[in-house]
Each structure stands twice: as C-alpha cells, then as structure tokens.
Amino acid sequence: MRTRSIRAATLSDVDRLLALETDSFASDRLTLRSFRHFVRSPTAVLRVMREGADILGYYLLLFRARSEVARLYSIAVDGRHRGRGLAAALLADAERAARRAGRMRLGLEVREDNAPAIRLYERRGYVFTGRIADYYADGAGARRYEKRLDRPARGRPREADD
C-alpha cells in the first residue's frame, strides 16, 4: 500500500492540477496560469495530496495582509478517490496552515448544490454565515461558511510544509 502525503505544490504539479480542476469543476476553474502564480505567491498556500506519483487532491488558501481570516479558495479531490476521507484530510491540513500563518478564522464559499462539501464543512464545525445569489458563472448561488481556529501560531504562510 502506498503512503499518502500532503506537501507544497510545485511547478511540476501544475499540469496535473489543471486536469484535476477540469475534472472537478464545470465552471469557475483555475487556469494553468493561475496555478503557476499561486505556486509562487507569498500570499497563498497551494498544497497537494499525493499517493505515490499520483496527485489525489489539492487545496488553495489565500491570505490578505492585516486580516485575521484565511480564505479557502478551492479544494478538490480526484473523482476516483472520493469517499475515502481525503477532502477531510486536506481541510484539516488547510486549517493547520491557516493557524501557522497567524489567522484566527477560515472562511469559504461553496455551491448551494454541493451537498457533500456542505456536509463536510458543517461536520468540521464551519458555521453558515450567509448566502450569495448568482455567485458562480453559471448563476448558481453560494453558501458562505466560516470557522474560528484555535491557538494561531505566527509564521509565514509558506511554512505550511509538514
């Protein structure tokens, strides 16, 4: 059995990340250029879950200066590996990365019709804070969630490599 690990994304991962993005989302996708940008960005944490040479999923956290809130911009798991707890493991890693970056809360938006993701966020303690109509390019609405993180530790976002 191969061991899963989560590590910082590299430029050599971006083609696979783009394929995962295309398979996971019908619209509002990150582009190859965006992935390249976020790999290098000091205000982002882009991490991948690997099993052997395969990328099973990723998440992207964004940080704004002087804000206590980190934003989970995107999280995706390869469809062939869903239902194995990978999204929960990625989300837990994102929460640790946000705490290490000194953030007190983690916020996100999720499609209203994405029931599995909504269940995950609610099970992990995220609180519904509002709805945004016509949030996505196809006109779908979003639900906004936020979670208070305990015990933030000061550090740079790029130090999220366990």
Q: What is the pLDDT along the chain (162 residues), one digit of tens a residue?
A: 568 899 999 999 999 999 999 988 878 889 999 999 999 999 999 999 999 889 999 999 999 988 999 999 999 998 888 878 899 999 999 999 999 999 999 999 999 999 999 999 999 999 999 999 999 988 999 999 999 998 545 554 443 443
Cα 42 to Cα 57: distance, rounded to the nearest angstrom: 21
Degrees to nearest 5, angle at CA 153 with 126 and 124: 15
Cα 49 to Cα 47: distance, rounded to the nearest angstrom: 7
What's the pTM? 0.87
Q: Which of 107, 78, 110, 113 is nearest to 94 (CA)?
A: 107
The Cβ of residue 152 has, within 10 Å, a number of other Cβ atoms equal to 16
The Cβ of residue 146 has, within 10 Å, a number of other Cβ atoms equal to 18
What does the domain layout of the chain look like in residue ranges? 4-109
Q: Could you identify the residue written with the tokens 């960005």? A: 41
What tokens were used for 158?
Answer: 């790029």
The CATH number of the structural domain formed by 4-109 is 3.40.630.30
What tokens were used for 64?
Answer: 């704004």
What tokens were used for 63?
Answer: 């940080």
Distances in Å between the alpha carbon of 96 and those of 17, 87, 102? 22, 14, 10
Q: Which amino acid is at 98?
A: A
